Structure 1
Amino acid sequence: MKIERLPLNALRAFSEAARAGSFKTAAERLSVTPGAVSRQIKQLEERLGVALFERHANGVHVTDAGHLLAEDVDAGLARIANGVQAVHERAHAATTLTLSAPPSFTQFWLLPRLADFEAQESHVEISLDADQDLSDPIWHGDGARLALRYGRGPWPGVHSERLLEDSLFPVCSPALLERSPIDTPVDLLAHPLLEVVWQSRQNVDFPGWRDWFDAAGLPGKTLPIQQRYSLYGLALDQAIAGRGIMLANPAVVADRLASGVLVRPFGDRHVIDSPFTYDLILPATGQAPPAIQRFIDWLLDEAARFQGEID
Structure 2
Amino acid sequence: MVKHTDPDMTLLKMPSLKAVKSFVAAAKYQSFTRAAEALCVTQAAISRQIRELETYLGVALFKRVGRAVELTEAGAIFFDAAQMSFVNISQAAERIRSRNAGKRMLTLCCSHAFSALWLSARLPALFSQNPDIDLNLITTQNFLSMEPGVRPDIYITKMAKIQDGYRSYPLFHDVIYPVCTPAYQEAHPELATLKGLRDGGLLNLSPYGRSQVAEHVDWGVWLAYHNIDIGERAHDSPHVLNANDYNLVVSMALNDQGVALGWNHLVTALIEQGRLVRPMAEEMVLTESLHYLTIREDREADDACCRVRDWLLGQFDGYPFPAATQLHR
Is TM more than 0.5 here?
yes
- Structure exhibiting the larger radius of gyration computed from Cα positions: 1
RMSD of equivalent CA atoms:
3.0
Shift of 1:159: 1.5
The residue that corresponds to 1:94 in the other structure is 103
Q: Distance between the aligned counterparts of 2:258 and 2:101, measured in 1?
A: 50
Q: Distance between the aligned counterparts of 2:160 and 2:107, measured in 1?
A: 22
1:168 touches 1:271 (CA, 8 Å); kept in 2?
Answer: yes
Shift of 1:205: 4.0
Matches of residues 116-131 of structure 1 in structure 2 within 5 Å?
116-131=125-140
Q: Any idea what SS the aligned residue of 2:278 has?
A: coil
| Cα deviations by residue, 1:265-303 (Å, 9 ceiling, x for unpaired) | 01xx31112355321122245634111111111110111
Shift of 1:188: 1.0
1:297 aligns with 2:310: yes
User: Cα gap change, 1:185/1:301 in structure 2, threshold over 3 Å: closer, same or farther?
Assistant: same
1:139 touches 1:145 (CA, 8 Å); kept in 2?
Answer: no
Q: Structure 2: which amino acid aligns with 1:218?
A: I
User: Cα gap change, 1:214/1:96 in structure 2, threshold over 3 Å: closer, same or farther?
Assistant: same
The residue that corresponds to 1:207 in the other structure is 217
Matches of residues 68-79 of structure 1 in structure 2 within 5 Å?
none
The residue that corresponds to 1:176 in the other structure is 184
User: Cα gap change, 1:301/1:307 in structure 2, threshold over 3 Å: closer, same or farther?
Assistant: farther
The residue that corresponds to 1:270 in the other structure is 282
Q: Any idea what SS the aligned residue of 1:160 has?
A: strand
TM-score of the two chains, using structure 1 as the length reference: 0.61
User: Cα gap change, 1:264/1:245 in structure 2, threshold over 3 Å: closer, same or farther?
Assistant: same
1:281 aligns with 2:291: no
| Cα deviations by residue, 1:106-163 (Å, 9 ceiling, x for unpaired) | 1111121121121111110112122223249x999xxx632211x3534442321122
| Cα deviations by residue, 1:45-87 (Å, 9 ceiling, x for unpaired) | xxxxxxxxxxxxxxxxxxxxxxxxxxxxxxxxxxxxxxxxxxx
Q: Structure 1: which amino acid aligns with 2:218?
A: G
The residue that corresponds to 1:73 in the other structure is none
Q: Distance between the aligned counterparts of 1:220 and 1:243, measured in 2?
A: 19
Shift of 1:307: 4.7
Shift of 1:305: 4.2
User: Cα gap change, 1:191/1:289 in structure 2, threshold over 3 Å: closer, same or farther?
Assistant: same
Q: Any idea what SS the aligned residue of 1:221 has?
A: helix
User: Cα gap change, 1:287/1:216 in structure 2, threshold over 3 Å: closer, same or farther?
Assistant: closer
1:169 touches 1:249 (CA, 8 Å); kept in 2?
Answer: yes
1:252 aligns with 2:262: no
1:152 touches 1:276 (CA, 8 Å); kept in 2?
Answer: no
Q: Distance between the aligned counterparts of 1:139 and 1:290, measured in 2?
A: 21
The residue that corresponds to 1:228 in the other structure is 242
Q: Structure 1: which amino acid aligns with 2:231?
A: K
Q: Any idea what SS the aligned residue of 2:116 has?
A: helix
Q: Any idea what SS the aligned residue of 2:317 has?
A: helix
Paired residues, what number? 215
Q: Distance between the aligned counterparts of 1:286 and 1:170, measured in 2?
A: 39
Show structure 1 runs of 5+ residues with no match. 1-88
Q: Any idea what SS the aligned residue of 2:153 has?
A: strand
Shift of 1:236: 0.5
Shift of 1:203: 4.9
Q: Distance between the aligned counterparts of 1:176 and 1:119, measured in 2?
A: 37
User: Cα gap change, 1:160/1:109 in structure 2, threshold over 3 Å: closer, same or farther?
Assistant: same
1:194 touches 1:246 (CA, 8 Å); kept in 2?
Answer: yes
Shift of 1:219: 2.9
Q: Any idea what SS the aligned residue of 1:279 has?
A: strand
Q: Distance between the aligned counterparts of 1:191 and 1:220, measured in 2?
A: 11
Q: Distance between the aligned counterparts of 2:107 and 2:218, measured in 1?
A: 32
Q: Distance between the aligned counterparts of 1:128 and 1:218, measured in 2?
A: 40
